[in-house]
Amino acid sequence: GNELRDKVLEKYSAKVYRNRKQHVLSIDPEASNEITANVRTIPGIITQRGCCYAGCKGVVLGPMSDNAIIVHGPIGCSFYTWGTRRHKQVETDRHGEHADCYVEYCFSTDMQEPNIVFGGEKKLKKAIEECMAIYKPKMLSICSTCPVGLIGDDIHAIAKWAREEYPGLMCIAFSCEGYKGVTQSAGHHIASNQIIRFIVGTGDHKPQKKFSVNILGEYNIGGDGWEIERILNRCGIEVVSAMTGTSCYRDMKNAHLADLNLVQCHRSINYVADMMKDKYGMDWIKVNFIGVNATKKSIRAIGAYFNDPELSARIEEVIADEENTIADEMEYYKSKLKGKTAAIYVGGSRSHHYQLLLQDLGMSTVLAGYEFAHRDDYEGRRVIPDIKVDADSKNIENLKIEADENLYNPDRITPEHRAELEANEDIDLNDYQGMYPDMEEGSIIADDLNHFETEEFLKALKPDVFFSGIKDKFVVQKAGMLSRQIHSYDYQGPYTCFQGAARFGHDLVMGLYVPAWSFIKAPWKNQATLVGKLGGEV
Ligand code: CFM
Ligand code: HCA
């Protein structure tokens, strides 16, 4: 039932209560568990959400190595996204050629008041000229922040000017003003649209191996993407591009030449997968490389798609070998973690993915939620037709995609094989089931969880660890509960696939068993659990 939810939310005014109640529920297999998501946060509430610009510039564009991003706006917006997300990169493309890497740089027009009053276009052109003179990038992005949209600088005209002025330069403008959407999610969509419009389909570097894929929605945080690629390469599968971790503009141009798209983070990049399906007829499968069992299921699904006995045999060999390498460690971590509970609250897919890794370690998740996911990330893609399109979502362009005259090929697999895959419950072909099916009855789901609710739920549920981000980590830790960052991994990682799972187990055991905990007492441990009167005295 929803008793705990109602108890936590009852402190609100009636209006706020009515709103928040639609975002928080307890999983009940008998009920529809419909949730409200991707709508505006109530003003005044301390949300953990970010803005549209963060989703476009920071999340999707940021990891591309050879993409010089000029932030058109006041300097604070640049500073905020400068090196705070741990997408690792190298200075080579997938063919071993040098590609300049700008991920550690911060380019900004540093708009001042006079630019807001008289317009910032001249300053932006000057910034582009300066960047071209010094760095000569192959790709240059212009990302606008809030004031640019308000004063109406035409960044798209300037991008066109730059493409003409500098032959060979791919200059793309992104109207990703912070206010454009209700969260980062709007920025993911805006970035995806331009990737399809300007990048994918412009390269001609064909894959060399028999089986090739793109990895979509993998940003190489802490090296996650490198570990996934190591495993896929061992299996004999070529990675044409990753979007956008471990990739550069030059790799992404060739993405349409791969056989299959793998979608790791559905939330941030399902747009690209859908558009590539419409334009090239390329299938996608939902994968999850977080967790040993999830990884096994994912690579077996890839094997099933390609339907090649040699490939499937190699996949089984790799699984056996990788599992063998971590077996003793996993056994030990499991013995230390079995029966413990967790709460997870991050932006999108990781709140779902990490539950599977915790299950591998014998743990369960008592509360989970997303900052900015949509209903389909909770309930599965089958609810997409029922999602209300409100004024905020209408604000973001929905590209009309047509099949590519030469490259559209919907018959990459036979109709019989497609029917087989669709009937197979272990394979999500062009589909995502969302987080619910992996959650236990009675666990709490909280969309756009805020500071107040975080503290109240943690006090009531007392999980052993709270997985979250920088904004709430220390509040929780000072209250005596371990908090691990699932965005940045607290400077650790990779946590993907087999070795990543063992590394995660190691870090979690270290965190939970560190003797420092005996020096802090959670505030609620100092409070009486029962308050009442006995014989007239308190
Ligand atoms: Fe996808 Fe991500 Fe996530 Fe995300 Fe993010 Fe991130 Fe995240 Mo921070 S793309 S939705 S917008 S998995 S940056 S790498 S950790 S909130 S759960
Ligand atoms: C973002 C980036 C972020 C923030 C992390 C955090 C990331 O949303 O703009 O709040 O700890 O992963 O770096 O999600």
DSSP 428-492: -BT----SGGGS-TT-EEETT-BHHHHHHHHHHH--SEEEE-HHHHHHHHHTT-EEEESSSGGG-
Q: Nearest 5°: CA angle at 404, between 398 and 410? A: 95
The answer to whether 497 is a known catalytic residue is: no
Q: How crowded is residue 11: how many other Cβ atoms within 10 Å of its Cβ?
A: 11
pLDDT in tens, 341-368: 999 999 999 999 999 999 999 999 999 9
Q: Residues near 496 by Cβ (< 8 Å), separated by ≥ 6? A: 224, 225, 227, 228, 289, 290, 295
Whether 371 contacts 451, CB under 8 Å: no
DSSP SS3 for 368: strand
Strands (E) across 319-438 are located at: 341-346, 364-370
Catalytic residue (one of 85, 230, 417, 506): 85
pLDDT tens sequence across 462-513: 999 999 999 999 999 988 899 999 999 999 999 999 999 999 999 999 999 9
For strands 482-485 and 465-468, give the pairing. Answer: parallel
Query: How confident is residue 377, by pLDDT bands cut at 50, 70 and 90?
Result: very high
Mean pLDDT on 310-317: 98
Residue at 366: amino acid letter: V
Residue type, 518: S
Could you confirm whether 51 is annotated as catalytic?
A: yes
Q: In the structure, which protein residues have their CB atom closer than 6 angstroms to any atom of ligand 1?
A: 55, 59, 85, 184, 217, 219, 221, 265, 267-268, 346-350, 487
Average confidence score pLDDT of the chain: 95
For residues 223-250, average pLDDT: 97
Reduced to 3 states (helix: H, G, I; strand: E, B; else coil), residue 174 is strand
Residue 275: pLDDT band (50, 70, 90) is very high
What confidence score (pLDDT) does residue 381 get?
Answer: 98
CA distances from 442 to 348, 355, 356, 458, 517 (A): 21, 15, 17, 15, 29
DSSP helix/strand/coil, 25: strand
Residue 165 has pLDDT above 90, yes or no: yes
Residue 96's pLDDT is what?
85
The residue assigned the tokens 């029966």 is 339
For residue 529, pLDDT beyond 90? no
**Whole-structure pTM value:** 0.95
Percentage of the chain with pLDDT > 70? 98
Pocket test for ligand 2, best of 46, 48, 79, 84 (most atoms within 8 A of CB): 84
Ligand 2: which residues within 6 Å by Cβ? 50, 54, 58, 84-85, 184, 347, 469-471, 485, 487-488
| DSSP strand pairing (211-218 vs 237-244) | parallel
Structure token pair of residue 168:
């060979």
Residues, the chain: 538
Catalytic residue, chosen from 23, 37, 52, 54, is: 54
Tell me the sheet residues that pair with 242. 215
Name the closest ligand to CA 268: 1
**Ligand 2 midpoint to CA 84 (Å):** 8
Name the residue at shortest CA distance from atom 13 of ligand 2: 85
Note whether ipTM > 0.90 here.
yes
AA identity, residue 251: D
Fill in the DSSP letter of residue 537. Answer: B
513 CA to middle of ligand 2, Å?
A: 27
531 pLDDT more than 90: no
Residue 172: exposure state from Cβ atoms within 10 A (0-12, 13-18, ≥19): buried
- Closest C-alpha residue for ligand 2 atom 6: 469
- Domains observed in the chain: 52-199 (3.40.50.1980)
**pLDDT-above-90 percentage for the chain:** 92
Closest-lying ligand 1 atom to the alpha carbon of residue 265: 1
Annotated active-site residue in 49, 86, 87, 188 = 188
What residues contact residue 533 under an 8 Å CB cut-off, 6+ apart? none
Tell how far the Cα of 347 is from the centroid of ligand 1, in angstroms: 5
